[in-house]
Chain A
Amino acid sequence: MEMLTTIIFLPLVLTVPVFFIPERAGRALWAYAIAVSGIELLVSLGLLFWFDLSRAAEFQFYGSFPWIPGIASSFQIGIDGMSLLLILLTAFLTFLGFLSSTRYIEKKRKEYIISMLIMESAMIGVFSSLDALLFFVFWEAMLVPMYLLIGIWGHENRVYAAFKFILYTMAGSVLLVSAIIWLYIQFKTFDLVALTQATRGLPLSAQEILFMAMTIAFAIKVPLFPFHTWLPHAHAEAPTAGSVLLAGILLKMGVYGLLRFSFPMFPEAARAFSPWLAVLALIGITYGALMTWVQKDLKRLIAYSSVAHLGFIVLGASSLNTWGLQGAMLQMINHGLSTGGLFFVAGMLYERRHTRDLSAFGGLAKAVPRLSVLFGIIMLSSVGLPGLNGFVGEFLALLGAFKANFIWAAVGVLGIILAAVYLLTMFQKVVFSRLDKEENANMKDLSLREVLVLSPLVIFIFWIGIYPNSFLRYTQPVSERIVQITNPQPLAEGGAKEEASHE
């Protein structure tokens, strides 16, 4: 309890000293930010040490004390295997984000550091909340810092992108908060565990409405086709660390919401709607891939590839079996690492050339070999090359989809091929084609700091690719629990559905 509370609020509390460091002292500011996020990362690693793997499906580091007793809301936190991995990913990417920002961010450094730290607190809070109201508070609290990150330190179109981002999410929040209030009035509690028990008794019609309300809110965040239109703008315009956190963490919050709220709370509705979710996911996979293919802007390209990749995650999740869910959860981590990595590389290229236009690059393999190698590995992980992390996750997700419905898997495989096409085309344009521009020839290779940003990502890319079980064993019990809730009799295909509807 104390430990998890500390992890949530440490970044928030440690924003206070930033106010007293003068803006001129750039080095001190960055040293402070990196130190704080580093300490946060170390403390979060402590979670790993004390986490009881044999009870990974239960909420550990559990704690609760009354927050607004008048409406039965409490500060109730706890994490299972899925939240644990996501919290670690958050701390990890925030740390790398600061490490990558020291040269990139030149104005309003104090505000930048404060926004990033507040956001870290809010993101970790989202993954730890076991109280629906508390979850919503963290969920919304994260919007403003992200909005500022995009709007102040972003590229040319930043203000538009920032508004689009925040208004889309807030529109989704209307549905989410309505559903939460409805549940509160029905059951007089915000306690997630109690709610998950109670909501199963709801009639199917009520389940369906609530499921839709929550799922649309989360789908905007994921983003699932057709709610994805905010994403290319926000991702492309945000500063490097902002894009990394957007892609790496914020999108995962949408999937997390599906797996924590929508599916276990309304299992019957989840079964009824999962084919629709899967279809939307498949549209997202193919549409995202085709859109990615034609992008000329490096960051927009990566952004659209996220739409496709998140499609795999939702596809795996909506297959509602252990394989699919395992794939989805692992892919959440993988996507954070590989797309995060791609955004880091895009940021490094932008720092050197001040452009994101693909045609401005070419022949980087000769000019900047270190960058090219790391870029290549990260790109291949995003493609899903066997031996690297992306393969494992996508394979599991597709396996789950195959078990649920053959056609889903067939279309999904097409998406993998397309991913190889667009990513390799991009890589070919940027890294391999002729070195015909002088600016590219004179480009500096990675500095030690930049190698330090990318190499941890690469280590994890190989680790997950070669021995995914170190991670899968954390999520396995969670997946099994969700499957158990959503399929009371998983063996009797079809019969289970009928029995459930007779109840």
Chain B
Amino acid sequence: MSDLGLIVPEMSLAGFALLYLVIGLALKRWRWLVGIFTIIGLVGELALIVAFLTVSGNAFGVLTVSPFGRLLDLVFLAAALITLLIYLDIRELPYEGGFFLLAGTLGAMLLPKSVDFIMLFLSLETLSFSLYALVGLRGTRLDAEAGIKYFVLGGFSSAFLLMGIALLYALAGTFSFSGVMSAISDPGYNIGVLIAALSFIGIGFLFKASAVPFHFWTPDVFEGATAPVASYIATASKVAAFGLLLNIFSLAFGANPDLWWGFLWYVSVLTMFVGNTAALLEKSVKKMLAYSAIAHAGYLLIPVMAGTISSFSVIVLYALVYTMMTGGAFAIVSVLGDERTSLDSYKGLAKTRPIQAFLLTLFLLSLAGVPPLAGFVAKFYLFTGAFEAGLLSLAIIGLINGVISAYYYLRVVVYMYMMEPEEEPEIPKLRKRLWTAIAIAIAAAGTVYLGFFPGPALDFIRGLF
């Protein structure tokens, strides 16, 4: 297949994003039409990716198209679909946000496929700039503050990344992963430069992946951003970063694991503990979900370090499941409204809005890894992979963290089911939020189905590697 043929799904998504901008302008008044248009477009894109699932090859020397990348694309599209549906339901938000979401998804799709540092940087910035715009789009003070924070810190991390890439170029004389790999395989290169380059690149990416100690932006940005945008940052953006991390460490730096392995070990352990402990203390549900996203970043670093063949399937499955449950939880948060994020406003939700309380419980239990929900399957598979790769201590630390996390996920359930509502709330019913309800239905169906019958999906994913 020709180079252009390989990236048909990416090109069509770019086309669709532009089309959305135009059609959305025409249909601005009829949001439901925009919604239908979006669903049709994204489902079409989904079908296209499924059709291209087993196609692999190298496009222009900078992108490697493989089933792994395509499977992650499915995750990004699922995240985009869930997010867009929630987004369109919030009247105050301008429709243009949808464009940024689609553009960001394009960046996310390109990121884990990059095998060239320039391509990597371009796709990363495509993703990041869309997110900066999305966070500040509503234009309120809180939004703008979060947007600026995200932008400044994001720019900072991009600068680190660029610096690292430049150093690497000085060392290897090439931007391609394989070139770097062969340059640093022979002895005789300057190890100091390599370490510096690795550190800069590592910092840049760990920032995007919101790993400790580069996580400080996450809770603030999540609190300021609207729920769908926060959900998107937590899912698609993070998954893209991990897809890339797996690639970069196995393809570019795979020959020198001793340089980064120990560092990642500590980052992973710290990320799990800090994320979970901070979430324990958090009184805002949105911030709690932000810390939970941080903790999950810690879990996801484990397969990156394992670096076995099954790591790819672990990341895909975990990303898919994680997207479903986090997207679902944020969808419920969105229905409650961005001003109602404190735990207190969830008091007695089971009485006032039983369906929403039930669904949120479902997503939280899945996040806590309670069987028979999808979160359990994903975690079990992840830790089995860790044991298999011999990462015994890391797996046990991860499992212990799972227990800690159960506390704060269940605490929301306590507020919803075991306390009485304080006042008559003005929380909209789900049927008033049709698009959000569809998004929640997709997420809930996925969470339950993958929990009860993980066999077919897992076989399918494993079959592609």
Asked if A and B are interacting partners, one says yes
Q: A: which residues have CB within 8 A of B?
A: 66-71, 108, 111, 133, 136-138, 140-141, 143-144, 147-148, 151-152, 158-159, 162-163, 166-167, 170-171, 173-174, 177-178, 181-182, 184-185
Beyond A68-B454, A71-B458, is A166–B388 a contact (Cβ under 8 Å)?
Answer: no
B441 at the interface (CB under 8 A from A): no
Nearest CB on B from A325, distance (A):
30
Are B417's CB and A70's CB within 8 A?
Answer: no
Within 8 A of A (CB), among B369-396: 370-372, 376-377, 380-381, 383-384, 387-388, 395-396
Are A140's CB and B414's CB within 8 A?
Answer: no
Contacts of B406 in A (CB 8 A): 166-167, 170
Interface string of B335-362 (1 = CB under 8 A from A): 0000000000000001000000000000
B424 at the interface (CB under 8 A from A): no
Are B371's CB and A141's CB within 8 A?
Answer: yes
Are B462's CB and A174's CB within 8 A?
Answer: no
Once the chains are docked, how many angstroms separate the CA of A171 from the CA of B396?
11
Once the chains are docked, how many angstroms separate the CA of A69 from the CA of B402?
25
Are B403's CB and A174's CB within 8 A?
Answer: yes
Interface string of B396-428 (1 = CB under 8 A from A): 100110110011001001100110000000000
Once the chains are docked, how many angstroms separate the CA of A177 from the CA of B403?
12
Contacts of A68 in B (CB 8 A): 377, 454-455, 458
Once the chains are docked, how many angstroms separate the CA of A1 from the CA of B183?
61
Contacts of B387 in A (CB 8 A): 178, 181-182, 185
Contacts of B458 in A (CB 8 A): 68, 70-71
Beyond A69-B459, A151-B417, A151-B418, is A185–B388 a contact (Cβ under 8 Å)?
Answer: yes
Contacts of B454 in A (CB 8 A): 68
Once the chains are docked, how many angstroms separate the CA of A177 from the CA of B381?
12
Are B372's CB and A141's CB within 8 A?
Answer: yes
Describe B's contact surface by its main secondary structure. helix
Contacts of A141 in B (CB 8 A): 370-372
Are B407's CB and A151's CB within 8 A?
Answer: no
Once the chains are docked, how many angstroms separate the CA of A141 from the CA of B458?
21
Are B418's CB and A177's CB within 8 A?
Answer: no
Q: Which residue, of A66, A69, A158, A170, has the highest number of chain B Cβ atoms within 10 A?
A: A170
Once the chains are docked, how many angstroms separate the CA of A147 from the CA of B384?
27
Closest residue on chain B to residue A125 by CB atoms: B372
**Which of B410, B418, B459 is the one whose CB lies under 8 Å from A158?**
B418
Q: What are 19 A-B pairs with beta-carbon distances under 8 A?
A: A67-B455, A68-B454, A70-B455, A70-B459, A71-B381, A111-B417, A136-B371, A140-B376, A141-B372, A152-B418, A163-B407, A163-B414, A166-B406, A174-B399, A177-B380, A177-B383, A181-B383, A181-B387, A185-B387
Once the chains are docked, how many angstroms separate the CA of A185 from the CA of B459?
18
Within 8 A of A (CB), among B144-191: none
Once the chains are docked, how many angstroms separate the CA of A148 from the CA of B364?
14
Contacts of A69 in B (CB 8 A): 455, 459
Contacts of B413 in A (CB 8 A): 148
Beyond A167-B407, A185-B384, is A174–B396 a contact (Cβ under 8 Å)?
Answer: yes
Once the chains are docked, how many angstroms separate the CA of A174 from the CA of B396?
8
Once the chains are docked, how many angstroms separate the CA of A137 from the CA of B377?
9
Are A108's CB and B402's CB within 8 A?
Answer: no
Are B371's CB and A70's CB within 8 A?
Answer: no
